Amino acid sequence: MTVALLVLLPVLGSASVLGLRRRPHGVGAAAVGAAVATLAAAMVAAWAEPRLAWRWSDTLELSVAVDGFARVMVVLIPVVAAPVLAYAAATVEEGRTRLLALMLGFVAAMELLVVASDLLTLLLAWELIGAFSWALIGHGWRERSNGAAAAQAFITTRIGDLGLYVAAGTTFAATGGLGYDDLAAVDGARQDALAAGLLLAVAAKSAQLPFSPWLFSAMAGPTPVSALLHSATLVSAGAYLLIRVAPSLEPVGWFLPAVAGLGMATALAGGVSAALQSQAKRVLAASTSAQYGLMFVAVGAGSTAAAGAQLVTHAAFKSLLFLGAGVAIHAAGSGDLGAMRLGRVLPRTAGLSLVGVAALAAIPPLGGAWSKQEIGAAAAHSSVWLLLGVLVAGALSVVYAFRYQVLAFGRGPDNDIGRRVEAQPTTAERWSLGVLAAITVALSVLWLPGSSEVLERVTGGQLYEAPLWELTVTLAVTGTAAAGVFRAWRAHRLDPSAREGRAAVVADWYGLARLSRVAVVEPTLALSRGLARFDDRVVDAGVRGAEQLTRRLSRVVWGRAEWSLDAFVHGLAGAVGLGARGTRTADERSVDGAVRALAALTLKGADASGVADDRVVDGAVEGSAWLVGVGGHASRKLQTGQAHHYYAIVAVGFVVAAAVLLALTS
């Protein structure tokens, strides 16, 4: 039951938010309360490791379980979602109820995804988070560009989703099951198809090359949506699935090198793109691809534990950075880094943002530095070239992280103080930023002894010991890169303006954004519109023609039937009329005759009764009167005045009465 609560509680929270839509002050509390309740259930589930299964048919079963790395993810999702929801409730005015309800639904779908223990349940959750992300990115649907951006992000990730269908179908065809445990039983060419399908799916969802540009489209959504998508939900779904299934695919010789190569290419390309961006949210979006690229490198190098640690630390500091960027964009009136430098105006927000930037740049003792160190150790264990790539990617992280910080929250001109009052964040915004900053700092416990064993036990993966020289080299690279950024800042050589020429192409993901829009998105939309027209003009035309033909046939048949029915009715009416007239005639001739005969008979009876009354009744009355008179005359004779006469009469009366009684009783 506990595992079901992980999905049901945010769903109920979403319904509560919709129910409170007429009470705007209550929707925020309901949304945050649902996230906190989900967090409580997640902590219990992570401890108890519950399972639940429902058999769909003889061969298909939906199953969920809180085990392995899912124990971490079920807690991480509501931990990040709660402050992000509070921020959304405080800052979004238009469509706030709809936005909060969708975000809670998104959280429920993501919880279902991380507890899924078979590919069928995973596919259901996979589709749900895709649909929710489309609705969230297109939240401001009245602007046409937002709808187009949501469509681009949705279509791009849908291409990768096809790989997950291929993987599920291949697994079922090979083993007759869809459980994660069945993946290891697939062999031969089907195993290659399974690995290729899964790699396609996770690469698209985690914005790896060549799918990375969809993250720029996702920036069309409100800032809280960006914070949620980039941290613990949509983008993390691909890396999470890779961490879960990679050990089963190790027998595929090309799989892990391909994962590492893809991740390294994305980390380097994303780092360069982020360093050239002029928009605050785009810097963070490009850095998301680069950081997830490092997670892919860790998995490819054989350390799912290092990838899991990077996923957790990245979720905390990236959501913090996005919310801080939202405050800066609100204060500056745009997302242009050249129009910010809000350090004097927003000193507290600048300080909290610096915590996230330091974690992104892997500054010890923050948890982000520990996870980067473990990725480097795994890369060194696998290949020297891979280690060099990680060091370069780490240096790029330092560059784009501190460049973002000094451009967005650097010291502005003295006359900028006038924006202080109207630009200050609300209490809810400050609390949201403060909670996420506290979580980022708290993850420094990863540096404590014993944390490696806990992480390995939870993820089921392995960590490699980093040599001292690697840590020294990493710190040297980080310090050099940070010093270069601050020197350029002091020399006013950090150019925040939009790029032109080749730099603009590189900043726009090397032209992949335009290429995907021209080669994939627009043809797909054009095909969709063509199919819609075909449906309207051909399929629906056939249906409409059949409908019209049916109506005409109906009218013809009904006309004939109506003519026949009218004739029948008219005939029936004539017959009824004739019958009525005959009945009336019979009535006049039979009933009236009977009445007249009855009247004559009654008159005859009355006459006879008069005669009988005169002769019988009157005679009986007169006779009775005569007898009473005679009796009265005779009774006077018995009144003699003598007592013995009266005694004799009484005695005779008794005798007569006794005789009568005896006669009645015998």
pLDDT tens per residue, range 21-60: 888 778 999 999 999 999 999 999 999 999 999 988 888 8
Residue 108 pLDDT class (50, 70, 90 cuts): very high
Predicted pLDDT of residue 606 = 55
Q: For residue 123, give Cα distances in angstroms to 7, 162, 352.
A: 16, 10, 38
* DSSP annotation string for 398-441: HHHHHHHHHHHHS---GGGGGGHHHHPPPHHHHHHHHHHHHHHH
Mean of the pLDDT values across residues 605-633?
60
More confident: 534 or 442: 442
Contact (CB, 8 A) for 432 and 85:
no
CA-based end-to-end distance of the chain: 94
Sign (positive/negative) of CA torsion 115, 117, 118, 119? Answer: positive
Residue 609 pLDDT class (50, 70, 90 cuts): low
Burial class (CB in 10 A: 0-12, 13-18, 19+), 49: middle
Predicted pLDDT of residue 88 = 96
Burial class (CB in 10 A: 0-12, 13-18, 19+), 88: buried
Residue 153 lies in a domain: yes
DSSP 363: -
Query: Cβ contacts of residue 200 below 8 Å, gap of 6+?
Result: 159, 160, 162, 163, 166
Mean of the pLDDT values across residues 113-132?
96
pLDDT at 590 > cutoff 60: no
* 188-197, 474-483, 574-583: segment of lowest average pLDDT: 574-583
Mean of the pLDDT values across residues 643-661?
67
Predicted pLDDT of residue 278 = 92
pLDDT at 649 > cutoff 60: yes
* 390-399, 411-420, 582-591, 654-663: segment of lowest average pLDDT: 582-591
Residue 534 lies in a domain: no
pLDDT at 415 > cutoff 80: no
Predicted pLDDT of residue 25 = 78
Measured CA to CA, the distance from residue 295 to residue 310 in angstroms comes to: 7
Residue 284 lies in a domain: yes
DSSP 182: G
Taking the CA atoms of residue 578, residue 583, residue 589 and residue 592 in that order, the dihedral angle to the nearest 10 degrees is -140
The structure tokens listed for 264 are 């390294």
Does 210 sit behind a cis peptide bond, omega within 30 degrees of 0 on the bond before it? yes
Q: Name the average pLDDT for the chain.
A: 87
* 456-460, 490-494, 575-579: segment of lowest average pLDDT: 575-579
Predicted pLDDT of residue 613 = 55
DSSP 118: B
pLDDT digits (tens, 9 = 90+) for 144-175: 888 989 998 999 999 999 999 999 999 999 99
Residue 536 pLDDT class (50, 70, 90 cuts): confident
Does 523 sit behind a cis peptide bond, omega within 30 degrees of 0 on the bond before it? no
Residue 576 lies in a domain: no
Tokens 């079963």 sit at which residue? 61
pLDDT at 563 > cutoff 90: no
Residue 572 pLDDT class (50, 70, 90 cuts): low
Sign (positive/negative) of CA torsion 224, 230, 231, 235? Answer: positive
Measured CA to CA, the distance from residue 192 to residue 204 in angstroms comes to: 18
* 4-8, 310-314, 413-417, 445-449: segment of lowest average pLDDT: 413-417
Angle of helix 234-245 relative to helix 223-231, nearest 10 degrees? Answer: 0
More confident: 649 or 598: 649
Tokens 């150790």 sit at which residue? 377
Which contiguous run of DSSP H or E holds residue 57? none
Contact (CB, 8 A) for 238 and 206:
yes
Predicted pLDDT of residue 554 = 74
Q: For residue 494, give Cα distances in angstroms to 60, 75, 184, 408.
A: 58, 39, 51, 12
The neighbour count for residue 381, using CB atoms within 10 Å, is 17
Contact (CB, 8 A) for 92 and 224:
yes
Predicted pLDDT of residue 395 = 97
pLDDT digits (tens, 9 = 90+) for 425-453: 999 999 999 999 999 999 999 999 999 99
* DSSP annotation string for 264-286: HHHHHHHHHHHHH--BHHHHHHH
pLDDT at 78 > cutoff 90: yes
Contact (CB, 8 A) for 10 and 104:
yes
| For the chain, percent of residues with pLDDT exceeding 90 | 62
The structure tokens listed for 458 are 């939870």
Of the ranges 32-46, 544-558, 584-598, which is most confident? 32-46
Q: For residue 175, give Cα distances in angstroms to 243, 286, 552.
A: 22, 40, 56
| For the chain, percent of residues with pLDDT exceeding 70 | 83
* 8-12, 166-170, 212-216, 300-304: segment of lowest average pLDDT: 212-216
Measured CA to CA, the distance from residue 549 to residue 195 in angstroms comes to: 54
Residue 637 pLDDT class (50, 70, 90 cuts): low
More confident: 444 or 661: 444
Predicted pLDDT of residue 514 = 79
pTM here? 0.80
Contact (CB, 8 A) for 262 and 204:
no
Longest dimension (CA), the chain: 170
Three-class DSSP labels, 440-458: HHHHHHHHCCCHHHHHHHH
Q: Taking the CA of residue 474 as centre, how many other CA atoms within 13 Å lie in the half-sphere pointing to its CB?
A: 27
Backbone region of residue 425 per phi and psi (left: phi > 0; alpha: psi in -120 to 50; beta: other values): beta
More confident: 579 or 455: 455
Residue 414 lies in a domain: yes
pLDDT at 531 > cutoff 90: no
Mean of the pLDDT values across residues 531-540?
82
pLDDT digits (tens, 9 = 90+) for 302-337: 999 999 999 999 999 999 999 999 999 999 888 999
Residue type, 653: G
Of the ranges 15-24, 130-139, 572-581, which is most confident? 130-139
More confident: 79 or 522: 79
Return the SS3 of 641: coil
Cα Rg of the chain, angstroms? 48
Predicted pLDDT of residue 538 = 82
What is the count of structural domains for the chain? 1
Residue 209 lies in a domain: yes
Residue 323 lies in a domain: yes
Residue 649 lies in a domain: no
